[in-house]
Amino acid sequence: MAELTPQPAPTTIAIGRLADLPTDRAVPVADGSVVVTRTSGGVRALRNLCLHQDLPLTDGHVRDGVLICPHHFWRYDIASGQLRSQQASRRCLISYDVSVIDGEVYVTLPSATLPSATLPPRLEPEAIPPSSLRTRLLERAGRWDRAEAYARDNKASTHDQSET
């Protein structure tokens, strides 16, 4: 008969104050293995690897409950971690339990997720130079509305046809 190996207990880490979490981007925590997002629906913790090419979601733009990968713009529903694509609707990011107690945010991670290095006790926001191309592209992607762009393109093509 096989012996059962006891599983290590999950670990809860303090992330920082809820008020310090930005509402427009994903912030890396737990030595970068997890990203935390804050929306009107609450705080979520997701694995910091895009399903596309295993690139980090750190600094991904957050808009209307959707996390946008900063590398190739794959989109994830923050509430479920599910990829927002018709082709891959069953694929989703691993999520972790989050609790907010007295304005402090805590993430519970399985011990296998934790890096061997000492974890930072508090969130330290990273500054991104406002002039970087990556930042400008992320801001533009966050403002882009497919329905509006489609309507604008249809209006322009209708206008062009009426002039001929």
Instruction: Give me the architecture of the 11-126 domain, per CATH.
Output: 3-layer Sandwich (2.102)
Per-residue pLDDT, 62? 92
How high is the pLDDT of residue 145?
74
What is the tens place of the pLDDT at every residue in 104-114?
999 998 875 54
Q: Give percent above pLDDT 70 in the chain.
A: 67
Cβ neighbours for 48, distance < 8 A, ≥ 6 positions apart = 26, 28, 32, 33, 34, 35, 56, 57, 58
> What confidence score (pLDDT) does residue 126 get?
46
Does position 117 have pLDDT exceeding 70, yes or no?
no
What's residue 95's pLDDT? 92
Structural domain boundaries in the chain: 11-126, 130-164
pLDDT tens digits along 11-53? 888 988 999 999 888 999 888 889 999 988 899 999 999 988 8
What per-residue confidence (pLDDT) applies to 153?
72
Q: What is the pLDDT of residues 121-155, one digit of tens each?
A: 333 444 444 456 666 666 777 777 777 766 777 77
HEC profile for the chain? CCCCCCCCCCEEEEEEEHHHCCCCECEEEHHHCEEEEEECCEEEEEECCCCCCCCCCCCCEEECCEEECCCCCCEEECCCCEECCCCCCCCECCEEEEEEECCEEEEEECCCCCCCCCCCCCCCCCCCCCCCHHHHHHHHHHHCCHHHHHHHHHHHHHHHHHHC
